[in-house]
Amino acid sequence: MGLISWFNEYRKRRALSGITHAYCMEGRVDGKVAYHLFRLEDGKFIESCWGSPKRFGRVGCSGSANVAQALEAIAERRARYSAQGFVEVEVPDWWQKGYRPPENVGPDYFEDPDFHEWDDVKVKEKDTWTHTGMYLMWLDARGFLDPPTDETDAQRLALARQRQLTPGAFFGAVYGGWFGPEEITDEGLDFTRSYYTDKGYKADYRAHVLKPRSNFYSAADTWETYDRISPVLDERYAAWKEAQLLK
């Protein structure tokens, strides 16, 4: 490389100092929400990671011979993930600033699709959606669910409201088995933090929906199941609301 070429390349890298060209692309893999994140550092290093919500993998890094090659590689990644059905979403602040991904799921993720077992055996994925689907449709009926912004998902919610799509099927199709704080309003989140526990909602679900000594995931994903648990949720919410007023 001649001196002039080296100097021009140096100027290009200086113009791209720090983190630039940071992207976050969201899609679904086997029905589950997944992300690809990638960014350019100092015009030379391409860093990337992949994972599920709040469970991102390790950051991988690759170098490039020059700025043009690095930008071409970034563009290729965007095109490749777009072809796989991923769409660009808001870049997390920590990724834009050059930080590493969070290392754990955190207390506000109420359902993680990778951690459903019965007698140490992984259950069928669609069977894990039923109990949460019932809860989400109750949240929606009370105005505590933030409607999805994706047009297809919004259509699925409309079908569920008309009872043309079952609660569990709605939850699986729209959220991929993940249930976190992003889906609900502030009041819905406060109640859910208090109630959506093993001794709260899941105990009520077992008592009012399931047969004695039955598999927790054995309930039918039907609106009849929803009609059995919905009045219980109304009572629990009313009691919780009264308790909040007394504080």
Domain ranges of the chain: 12-96, 117-246
The model's confidence at residue 180, banded by pLDDT at 50, 70 and 90, is confident
Question: 2: buried, middle or exposed (CB in 10 Å: 19+, 13-18, 0-12)?
Answer: exposed
- Per-residue tokens: 34: 């997944």
Instruction: State the pLDDT at residue 7.
Output: 54
In angstroms, the CA 191 to CA 9 distance is: 56
pLDDT at 63: 81
Least confident of 10-14, 90-94, 218-222, 238-242: 10-14
Q: What is the pLDDT of residue 105?
A: 43
pLDDT top residue among 96 and 222: 222
With the C-alpha atoms ordered 199, 204, 210, 211, is the resulting torsion angle positive or negative? positive
pTM of the predicted model, to two decimals?
A: 0.64
Whole-number pLDDT of residue 68: 87
Q: What stretch of H or E contains 88? A: strand 87-88
What is the CATH architecture of 12-96? Single Sheet (2.20)
Please state the rounded mean pLDDT for residues 19-41: 86
pLDDT band at 33 (very low <50, low <70, confident <90, very high): confident
**Which range, of 19-33, 86-100, 163-177, averages the lowest pLDDT?**
19-33
Mean pLDDT of the chain: 86
